Amino acid sequence: MRFLQNSLSLPNVPLPASAAFLGARVPTRLVKETQRLLAEPVPGIKAEPDESNARYFHVVIAGPQDSPFEGGTFKLELFLPEEYPMAAPKVRFMTKIYHPNKLGDSLKRDLFIRISYSSFNLGIRTVLLSIQALLSAPNPDDPLANDVAEQWKTNEAQAIETARAWTRLYAMNNI
């Protein structure tokens, strides 16, 4: 582990001691991104790599201030496919949320591709910030949950109240 930390730009940032981080299959970019997340956490977001899989992260996002999700804590899973960074990360909300850009267990993955994924500069940190921004400003014009988006468009006040109610019910005191 000491070799990995000394050979990268972020020394003294502990990584999980799992074999997944010590093997040759973990790309240097992934190690660097993980170290940066641990050394410089994104405000309002906690992202930790899984002990047994360097490509899997446990994420908790605080509901953004002045949003219907304020006061909630949302658990997510983030998984980086083998093709990462050429392929977009996969994200799944574990906490139930009332949001037009979420369907079932998956946040709209196309969002990340449209953010300019082809530039290959979109890292884990940027994906997490994008999710946080989407919580701050839901986009009913690009929905996955059509019924939620329709309510957001036709009766925004009611949609916001429903989102607040779901946040109180499912995202408060859930950690």
Kind and range of the H or E run holding 100: none
Mean pLDDT value of segment 39-51: 93
Q: Report, in this order, helix, strand and coil percent for the chain, each rounded to 5.
A: 40, 15, 45
Predicted pLDDT at 46:
95
**pLDDT (tens digit, 9 = 90+) per residue, 59-80?**
999 999 999 999 999 999 999 8
Six token digits for residue 113:
């591709």
Six token digits for residue 150:
């329709």
The Cβ of residue 62 has, within 10 Å, a number of other Cβ atoms equal to 18
Q: How far apart are CA 61 and CA 10, in angstroms?
A: 24
Predicted pLDDT at 158:
95
Contact 99, 145 (CB under 8 A): yes
Predicted pLDDT at 111:
43
Predicted pLDDT at 130:
84
Range among 13-17, 65-69, 138-142 with highest mean pLDDT value: 65-69
Whether pLDDT at 94 is above 60: yes
Q: How far apart are CA 164 and CA 75, in angstroms?
A: 16
